[in-house]
Amino acid sequence: MNRSYPIEPAIPAPLTRSLPPLGATAVCAAALAMCAVTAAVTIAGSTSDHAELEAFARVLIVAAPIGVGLFALRRPPFERFGVLLVASGPVLFLATLANSENATLYSVGRVSGWAVEPFLVYLILAFPTGRLEGRVDRALFYAITFVALILFLPTALLVERFPVPAPWMTCDADCPGNAFMLTSSEPTLVEDVLRPLREFMLAAVAAAVAVRIAHRIRGAKPLTRRTLAPVLGVACFRIGAFGAALLGRRVAPESSVIEVSAWLLAIAVPLMAVAFLVALLRWWVFIARATQRFAARLRGHPSPDDLRAALADAFDDPSLEIVYWIGNGEDHWADADGHLIERELVAPGRCLTEIGDGPDRIAAIIHDSALRDDRAFIATATSYALMTLENHRLTAQASSLLREVRESRSRIQAAADAERRRIERDLHDGAQQRLVALRIKLELAAERTGGGEGEGAAVLRALGDEVEEALEEVRSLARGIYPPSLATRGLVEGLRAAALRNPLPTTVLADGIQRYSREVESAAYFCCLEALQNVAKHARGASGAVIELSDNGSLRLEVCDDGAGFDSGAVSGGMGLVSMCDRLAAVGGELAVSSGPGRGTRVTASIPLEAHAG
């Protein structure tokens, strides 16, 4: 059978593929250049005794997101998020220019710092897929973007100096002026209304983001929870630092708490990148272990139920389902029992991955949407599922063929038994009656010839004796074809009649034997009869035979003798044994022969009765 890679149309194409070597080199070179500029600007504008340490901290703000982004780009489920992290590097780099003594670079850095907040909110809410999945996430991003564009950005044209301290610089009273100011003086509206309003809204949105992540973690599957937990921790840390900075600026503007909070806000950026990295590594390790567990559980020949259970357990998704495509004029999905699925197939937070063989749709896996972009899961699950379902289909086909063979054997055997009964009836009603009539006529002719005496009468009586012998042979043949005792009185009486005719003394033992279908009784009778004939022909030194019948849900037959026996492994069965096997197979039965030198022979047969009930 020709096979193709499983299809998975529910997964949109990734934003990008892993960067080629040249592209990765270019990104690394640009990152190094930005880090170098950041370090130089920071050292040049610093008045601290630890300028190098300060420069190192600023470099981390730029380098950490880019480094984690490059790592994420090499992991297919997180490519899109990796692009966002790498793209955040230039924005953060521009924000670090606020450490410059040059007014223009300083002003560019301060305005870019305002753009950092929407970018960070997007990263937090879009982790790990790189997409804003729900309306709440989009609303929060739009809110923080509105605050930045409407309440922050326009004030760059109105204020003489930017508020200090800030996360991206360390200067205080000696900071350069605003190079973008267009008015002659700063409107009082900025300080009295806009600045308190934007700080309040910024804090409110930040708190709402933390609540949103906590809500996602609480309602998430274990698979998603393990990736979001580190991000929530850092997000809460940054919100706490932000709240402390705002409160300190209002309550104690000269307090060192404000400067510490500003540094904590800045350090929270590389910490957030580390949180992203920890989450990605946890995911990577989980997928690797899950794939190993899944492969280990599917050894042998698993059923579709085993496949579903193994996937659900290995990938920590108890509600995982496998549905099957049924095309019979009205195409639809069905469960494993063939029942149509009329409910909504893919619930919120779930994803459907189709499994196909070439152009043919076979089944689908409904799983946690967190696995939607994970190629390792998709490749493993669909390939094993395709193999398992294909094996299941082949097994079902083989079972169907075997069932058809058994049904064919049953029909052939039933037709043969019906033919035997017809022959027996024809012999009884035809040839046997004619021979009886001929015998009577010969006797009458002998009585009329010479007064019943003389040579002519003797010849007629001799012919009558031959007719009598022929009649007895016909009767014997008729009994062998389908004995009347079997048809009228059942299996036990039929075998007892056969035992009386057997050359060796034969005993019939029966326990709980009733009347069964004609097919079962016929197969059992002729199987025992064939075994008795083998005893008479081949059981050297046998003094007798025993036929034992029992019914314990299956009709069990045993024919034993005390003859010399034989090596059953060195003797191949003849036509008699083949005939017995065929008869039993036609009614779903099985045959076993046990023998050994000096131990006699035991022929055992078993016929299931459930299939022949009624």
**What pLDDT score does 36 carry?**
94
Q: Which of 171, 185, 177, 47 is nearest to 99 (CA)?
A: 171
Q: Do 94 and 201 share a domain, yes or no?
A: yes
| CATH label of the domain that carries residue 151 | 1.20.1070
C-alpha distances in Å from residue 113, one per residue of 93, 105, 265, 509, 572: 9, 12, 12, 100, 92
Scanning 366-454, the segments in alpha helix (DSSP H) are 375-426, 432-448
In a domain, 440, yes or no: no
Q: Do 284 and 323 share a domain, yes or no?
A: no
Q: 552-582 burial string, b = 16+ CB within 10 Å, else e? A: eeebbbbbbbbbbbbeeeeeeeeeebeebbe
Q: Do 264 and 156 share a domain, yes or no?
A: yes
What pLDDT, in 10s, does the model give residues 461-478? 777 677 666 666 665 555
Q: Do 36 and 103 share a domain, yes or no?
A: yes
Confidence band, pLDDT 50/70/90 cuts, at residue 146:
very high
Given the structure tokens 């059942």, which residue do they identify?
Answer: 490
What pLDDT, in 10s, does the model give residues 274-305? 888 888 888 888 888 888 888 777 776 677 77
Give the dihedral sign, CA 296/73/371/273.
positive
List, in order, residues 6 or more apart from 142 with CB less than 8 Å away.
none
Report which residue type is found at 396.
A
Q: Which one has a higher pLDDT value, 377 or 418?
A: 377
Q: Do 136 and 241 share a domain, yes or no?
A: yes
**What pLDDT score does 174 carry?**
79
In a domain, 229, yes or no: yes
Cα distance between residue 274 and residue 277, in whole Å: 5
Mean pLDDT of 41-49: 82
Mean pLDDT of 192-214: 85
Beta strand pairing call for 506-511 and 545-551: parallel
Confidence band, pLDDT 50/70/90 cuts, at residue 568:
low
Q: Quote the longest CA-to-CA distance of the chain.
A: 166
In contact, 534 and 576? CB cutoff 8 Å: yes
**What pLDDT score does 16 carry?**
41
What pLDDT, in 10s, does the model give residues 242-255? 777 767 666 666 66
Cα distance between residue 584 and residue 598, in whole Å: 28
Residue 7 has pLDDT above 50, yes or no: no
Residue 139 has pLDDT above 90, yes or no: yes
**What pLDDT score does 474 carry?**
62
Q: Which of 80, 92, 149, 78 is nearest to 120 (CA)?
A: 92
Q: Do 279 and 366 share a domain, yes or no?
A: no
**What pLDDT score does 2 carry?**
31
Q: Do 282 and 335 share a domain, yes or no?
A: no
Q: Which one has a higher pLDDT value, 238 or 137?
A: 137
Q: What is the enclosing helix (H) or strand (E) of 248?
A: helix 222-251
What does the DSSP 8-state code read for residue 570?
T
Q: Which one has a higher pLDDT value, 219 or 69?
A: 69
In a domain, 446, yes or no: no
- Angle among Cα 492, 495, 501 to the nearest 5 degrees reads 145
Confidence band, pLDDT 50/70/90 cuts, at residue 572:
low
Q: Which long-range contacts (CB under 8 A, 24 or more apart) does 108-112 make?
A: 109/168, 109/169, 110/156, 110/162, 110/166, 110/168, 110/169, 110/178, 111/153, 111/156, 111/180
In a domain, 392, yes or no: yes
C-alpha distances in Å from residue 135, one per residue of 132, 139, 231, 324, 377: 8, 6, 20, 32, 27
C-alpha distances in Å from residue 275, one per residue of 124, 127, 228, 234, 279: 10, 11, 9, 7, 6
Q: Do 378 and 267 share a domain, yes or no?
A: no
Report which residue type is found at 311.
L
Residue 603 has pLDDT above 80, yes or no: yes
Residue that terminates a domain, selected from 366, 396, 411 = 411
In a domain, 305, yes or no: no
Phi, psi of 202 (to 5 degrees): -65, -45
Residue 411 has pLDDT above 70, yes or no: no
Q: What order of strands is seen across the sheet that includes strand 554-561? A: 506-511, 545-551, 554-561, 601-608, 590-595
- Strand stretches in 50-93, DSSP E: none
In contact, 85 and 276? CB cutoff 8 Å: yes
Cα distance between residue 566 and residue 238, in whole Å: 89
Beta strand pairing call for 590-595 and 601-608: antiparallel
| Range with lowest mean pLDDT among 153-157, 407-411, 539-543 | 407-411
In contact, 267 and 57? CB cutoff 8 Å: yes
What pLDDT, in 10s, does the model give residues 354-367? 877 767 777 788 88
Residue 4 has pLDDT above 50, yes or no: no
Cα distance between residue 37 and residue 348, in whole Å: 46
Cα distance between residue 302 and residue 366, in whole Å: 19
Domain span at 113: 21-289
Query: Chain-wide mean pLDDT for the chain?
Result: 78
Mean pLDDT of 111-123: 89
pTM of the model: 0.57
Residue that terminates a domain, selected from 385, 411, 437 = 411
In a domain, 474, yes or no: no
What pLDDT, in 10s, does the model give residues 385-398? 777 766 665 555 55
Residue 3 has pLDDT above 60, yes or no: no
Confidence band, pLDDT 50/70/90 cuts, at residue 495:
confident
In contact, 595 and 601? CB cutoff 8 Å: yes
Cα distance between residue 608 and residue 410, in whole Å: 14
Cα distance between residue 297 and residue 29, in whole Å: 46
In a domain, 270, yes or no: yes
| Range with lowest mean pLDDT among 96-105, 218-227, 482-491 | 218-227
Q: Do 225 and 170 share a domain, yes or no?
A: yes
Structure tokens at 99: 């450490």
What does the DSSP 8-state code read for residue 157?
G
Residues above pLDDT 70, as percent of the chain: 76
Report which residue type is found at 414.
A
Confidence band, pLDDT 50/70/90 cuts, at residue 429:
low
In a domain, 226, yes or no: yes
Mean pLDDT of 91-103: 90
Residue that terminates a domain, selected from 390, 411, 432 = 411
**What pLDDT score does 6 carry?**
36
Q: Do 107 and 207 share a domain, yes or no?
A: yes
**What pLDDT score does 140 carry?**
92
What total number of domains does the chain contain? 3
Cα distance between residue 399 and residue 405, in whole Å: 10
Gyration radius of the chain's alpha carbons? 47
Residue 419 has pLDDT above 70, yes or no: no
Residue 406 has pLDDT above 50, yes or no: yes
Residue 21 has pLDDT above 70, yes or no: no
List, in order, residues 6 or more apart from 312 with CB less than 8 Å away.
318, 319, 320
Q: Do 67 and 207 share a domain, yes or no?
A: yes
Q: Do 106 and 218 share a domain, yes or no?
A: yes
Q: Which of 495, 523, 489 is nearest to 508 (CA)?
A: 495
